[in-house]
């Protein structure tokens, strides 16, 4: 499966081969458009679940802070969204949808972390597998893929 097909499958809301773990076809194509590597951005947001699980389970060396994780402008994708991404693609509806989903994702991640830090670790782990966090994570992935397909088709 080629890179564009991989993105189109994700954009359609279905799992492409390897999409769940962020693995895309290694066919030499680049997923960078407009200053953002979309494959890397999808992968980074999919890895948040593992990072949060490790933190909750006490196996992480990271010092995660709710006030940072809850902000959608701190990660590389957020910096792109509020910088050159907005300048280049801010008028596109798909960009606006992705921006809103990305902000919601970070709010949900912050809620998971808050719950864990309050000592409700079982509840925090459930939040990672069910509910708003899961939906927000999937929607960020889908909106990023849709935006990639849309702006790649315009080139």
Mean pLDDT by 10 residues, the chain (155 residues): 72 54 53 89 92 96 96 96 96 96 98 98 95 93 92 75
Closest to 10 in 3D by CA, of 152, 114, 143, 123: 143
> Which among 37, 33, 29, 40 is positioned nearest to 1, based on CA atoms?
29
pTM of the model: 0.84
Q: Tokens for 135?
A: 């939906």
How far, in Å, CA of 5 to CA of 101, rounded? Answer: 23
Which domains does the chain possess? Answer: 3-154 (1.20.120.30)
Place of tokens 């409700």: 120
**Residue 21: what pLDDT?**
45
Q: What is the pLDDT of residue 11?
A: 74
Report the pLDDT value the prediction gives residue 15, as an integer from 0 to 100: 56
Question: Radius of gyration of the chain from Cα atoms?
Answer: 16
pLDDT on residue 28? 47
Q: Which residues pair with 37 in a beta bridge?
A: 32
């Amino acid at each position: 499966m080629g890179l564009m097909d991989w993105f189109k499958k994700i954009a359609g809301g279905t799992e492409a081969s390897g999409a769940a773990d962020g693995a895309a076809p290694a066919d030499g194509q680049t997923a960078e458009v407009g200053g953002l590597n979309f494959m890397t951005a999808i992968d980074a947001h999919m890895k948040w679940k593992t990072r949060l699980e490790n933190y909750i389970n006490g196996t992480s060396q990271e010092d995660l802070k709710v006030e940072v994780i809850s902000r959608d402008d701190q990660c590389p994708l957020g910096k792109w969204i509020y910088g050159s991404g907005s300048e280049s693609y801010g008028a596109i509806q798909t960009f606006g949808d992705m921006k809103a989903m990305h902000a919601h994702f970070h709010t949900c991640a912050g809620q998971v972390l808050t719950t864990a830090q309050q000592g409700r670790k079982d509840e925090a782990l459930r939040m990672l597998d069910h509910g708003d966090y899961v939906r927000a994570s999937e929607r960020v992935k889908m909106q990023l893929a849709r935006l990639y397909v849309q702006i790649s088709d315009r080139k």
